[in-house]
Amino acid sequence: MSLFLHLAWRNLWRNARRSSITLAAIAFAVLMVALQDGLQEGTYTANIKAAIRLSSGYLQIQHPAYHNKPALRHSIAYSDELRRKVDSVDAVVAYAPRIYADGLLSFGDQSMGALIVGVDVQREPLVSDYHKKIRDGRFPAEDKPFEIVVGQTLLQNLGAKIGDSLVVLAQGFDGYLGNLFFTIVGTTKTGSEDLDRMSVFMPLAGAQELLGMWGRCSVLAIELPRLNDIPETKRALTAALSENQLAVLAWDEVLASLKQLIEFDQISSEIQMLLLVLVVAFGILNTILMSISERYQEFGIMLSIGMSNSRLVAIIALEVVMLAILGIFIGDLLALGLNSYFSVNPIELGGEMMELYEEYGFLPMLKSSVEPSIFIKASVECLVFTLLAALFPLWKVYKLEPLKGIRYT
């Protein structure tokens, strides 16, 4: 057996140039696939985490009808029982009740529509990054229910400034129109143009007062340690809340359009990579065919002295596998280097790319990832394609007759 190994190994280096080209092609394919997947994985994860921290949370507990019709009557009771049940689930790091409602801001003779976000001033920072998005001023104080933070564009449009008071009008839980004075204590710059143009943040108590929602909230946003904890925790929460007529939604259900965007992007680049690997595979097919047809004479000798075709096929397959493994190893190594670099040093996008990304609500950057699954997928994909490329040449060897190669006259 070891002689066959030697034979295969030495055969590889007989035409070192060709083997190197094949090696480089395989390594290149692995590198491209792993880099592409790494950048996607890293960028998606960064965006998903940003979206989670900016709006959905990892999981949300809602009224079953809320997702399709987010009205106040589809709010939920923020009860001790609910808190106890959520607390009983291990992976839950923190949770925060939120109220979402449509309202009207009135300042001087200006009025503008706004998205009211009522947050638990103490709990919210454990779940979202709203408190970090304060541009001027501060977040509302816990014991001041009628302080409000206004998105910076919205504030400009109103012509108001920090310290001013404004009136917030909204239709409450019971249908009556509520209106209350709030004092502007800060402005946000979230990075999301929509949020900055539309939203105001106020303490939960203020929102409950305004909307007649005492003891209630629209959703409960839940923080988890990692994205991978989502499916398991969602199951556990659903089980814990089975008697409560509540729905547990993951971020990708709450933000279904982001999920769709990612999936679409994934599919299109998957196709691109598949085409690239296919092209490389054809190149490999060619070099294998060449290296085989050059050796018909010695294959003929081997078959003549009693080697079976299947054994000859095994040797050639061994050559291909050695080359593939070596190429994959090199490709993975290069990809690991680049992916590590770009996971620590994201590429900041500027100009048109930046605008395009922001238009789709993406962070304007490319970040990579060194998740092992990325390298495994790239390796397996390229190994499979290399072996597929070898099938036809191997079949030719399997059908080779000894005399085909030995003809002198």
Partner 1 sequence: MEIIRTVDVERTYEDKGVPVHAVNGVNLIVEQGEFSVLAGASGSGKTTLLNVIGALDVPTRGEVFLHGEALSQKAGNELSAIRLTKIGFVFQAYNLIPVLSALENVSFPMVLQGVAASERRERAMAILDELDLAGLAHKRPGAMSGGQQQRVAVARAIVTNPALVLADEPTANLDSVTGHKLLDMMLRLNEEKKITFVFASHDEKVIARAKRLVTMRDGQIINDELRDGVFT
Q: Considering only the stretches 9-17, 107-115, 244-252, 373-381, report the one whose residues sit in contact with partner 1 under the rule CB under 8 A.
A: 9-17
Q: Considering only the stretches 4-12, 39-47, 174-182, 269-277, report the one whose residues sit in contact with partner 1 under the rule CB under 8 A.
A: 4-12
- The token duo for 136 is 């001027």
Q: Which is nearer to partner 1, 130 or 299 (CB)?
A: 299
Tell me how crowded residue 356 is: count the other CB atoms within 10 A of its CB.
12
406 in contact with partner 1 (CB under 8 A): yes
402 in contact with partner 1 (CB under 8 A): yes
Q: Considering only the stretches 70-78, 185-193, 271-279, 398-406, report the one whose residues sit in contact with partner 1 under the rule CB under 8 A.
A: 398-406
73 in contact with partner 1 (CB under 8 A): no
* 72 DSSP 8-state letter: G
Q: Considering only the stretches 7-15, 164-172, 284-292, 349-357, report the one whose residues sit in contact with partner 1 under the rule CB under 8 A.
A: 7-15
- Please report how close the Cβ of residue 320 comes to partner 1 at its closest, in angstroms: 16
* R_g of the chain, CA atoms, integer Å: 31
- Please report how close the Cβ of residue 391 comes to partner 1 at its closest, in angstroms: 20
Cβ atoms 326, 12 nearer than 8 A:
no
- Please report how close the Cβ of residue 303 comes to partner 1 at its closest, in angstroms: 7
Distance CA 49, CA 42 (A): 10
Distance CA 64, CA 246 (A): 6
Q: Which is nearer to partner 1, 322 or 338 (CB)?
A: 322
User: Which whole-number Å values give the CA distances from 234 to 69, 188, 242, in the listed order?
Assistant: 22, 31, 12
261 in contact with partner 1 (CB under 8 A): no
- Please report how close the Cβ of residue 383 comes to partner 1 at its closest, in angstroms: 25
Distance CA 86, CA 219 (A): 13
403 in contact with partner 1 (CB under 8 A): yes
- Tell which residue, 90, 117, 42, has the closest CA to residue 347: 42
19 in contact with partner 1 (CB under 8 A): no
- Tell which residue, 255, 257, 259, 249, has the closest CA to residue 62: 249
Cβ atoms 37, 331 nearer than 8 A:
no
Cβ atoms 207, 97 nearer than 8 A:
no
- Position 79: which residue type? S
Distance CA 19, CA 32 (A): 20
Binding mask 290-319 for partner 1 (x = CB under 8 A): -------xx--xxxxxxxxxxx--------
* 73 DSSP 8-state letter: G
User: Which whole-number Å values give the CA distances from 121 to 76, 130, 272, in the listed order?
Assistant: 19, 10, 46
Question: How many of the chain's residues bind partner 1 (CB under 8 A)?
Answer: 26
Q: Which is nearer to partner 1, 10 or 138 (CB)?
A: 10
30 in contact with partner 1 (CB under 8 A): no
Q: Which is nearer to partner 1, 8 or 237 (CB)?
A: 8
Tell which one of 6, 83, 84, 138 touches partner 1 (CB under 8 A): 6
4 in contact with partner 1 (CB under 8 A): yes
Interaction site with partner 1 (CB under 8 A): 2-4, 6-7, 10-11, 14, 297-298, 301-311, 402-403, 406, 408-409
